Structure 1
Amino acid sequence: MNFYVASSFQNKEVVREVSFQLKKLGWHHTYDWTQNEQANSLEDLQKIGMLEKQAIADSNVVVVLLPGGKGSHIELGLAIAGQKKIFLFSPNLEAMNMETTSTFYQLPEVQICLGSIEELISTVIIKGTTK
């Protein structure tokens, strides 16, 4: 199973943990953006953007970890448009709060996950492999 994890740089350790757990089960991480440093030029941004766009296209499952920045929300949009299985992790319940949620979090193809990282990974493993 191919997967991609979207989030903000502030969550890179959690992204690495989710990736580690899925890779232990034989899943393939299509692109690990946490290995990058902050981009210093528009050319760097373009190159990273192309890699991330392709990684989402190559994924069966996309996990989005909140809080996310503008990039992770664009990645969510790409996953929705690409009809990927999407798991949105909302540890602070922001996806369930009318003040902080997004219309797109509420789409039926977006599985909102609350609770712990362990519960998220379990849900991704179970529901990410079913039709």
Structure 2
Amino acid sequence: MLENDRIEELQGVEKADFLVFIFPSGKGSNIEFGIATALKKRIYILDVNNEIENFDLTSTFYFLDNVKSFKGSLDDFAKFIVECETK
């Protein structure tokens, strides 16, 4: 069962147009982030604790060109993604 879950997660990232990432996140989300980065997917990060620029807690991968971070409410984050995706 776990193997099927991992395959489905991988396929989900592969099929996605972009990845939505809530920071901070767990290990599984960071793996999906890595897969999306390798596949050159667009990635949107919601920085819920305003910590993305604390380099003791983050990775330089969060600052790649294909990554856009956002600080604010979940509703405003959704609007931000829609705006970015419809440009």
TM-score by length of 2: 0.91
SS at match of 1:94: coil
- One-letter amino acid of the counterpart of residue 84, structure 2: K
Q: Percent identity, please.
A: 33
Q: Residue 93 of structure 1: which of 22, 32, 50 is its match?
A: 50
Task: Select which of 74, 78, 81 maps to 1:124.
Answer: 81
Q: Assess if the C-alpha contact under 8 Å between 1:87 and 1:124 holds in 2.
A: yes
Distance 1:122 1:96 in 2: 22
Say if 1:63 and 1:86, in contact at 8 Å, map to a contact too: yes
**Matched pairs, number:** 87
Counterpart of 2:30? 73
Cα distance per residue 1:73-109 (max 9 Å; x no partner): 0100111111111101111122111221111111121
Normalised to the residue count of structure 1, the TM-score between the two structures is 0.62
Following the alignment from structure 1 to structure 2, what is the Cα–Cα distance between the partners of residues 71 and 94?
A: 19
Deviations 1:97-131 (A, max 9, x none): 1221111111121101111101110111111233x
Q: Which residue of the partner structure matches residue 35 of structure 1?
A: none
The runs of 5 or more residues in structure 1 that have no matched partner are 1-43
Match of 2:59 in 1: 102
Unaligned runs of 5+ in 2: none
RMSD: 1.2
Q: Which moved further from structure 2: 47-56 or 89-98?
A: 89-98
Per the TM alignment, residue 45 of structure 1 is displaced from its structure 2 partner at its CA by 2.1
Runs of 4+ in 1 over 6 A off after TM superposition: none
Instruction: Give the Cα–Cα distance (whole angstroms) in 1 for the partners of residues 5 and 20 of structure 2.
Output: 18
Separation (CA, whole Å) in 2 of partners of 1:128 and 1:61: 9
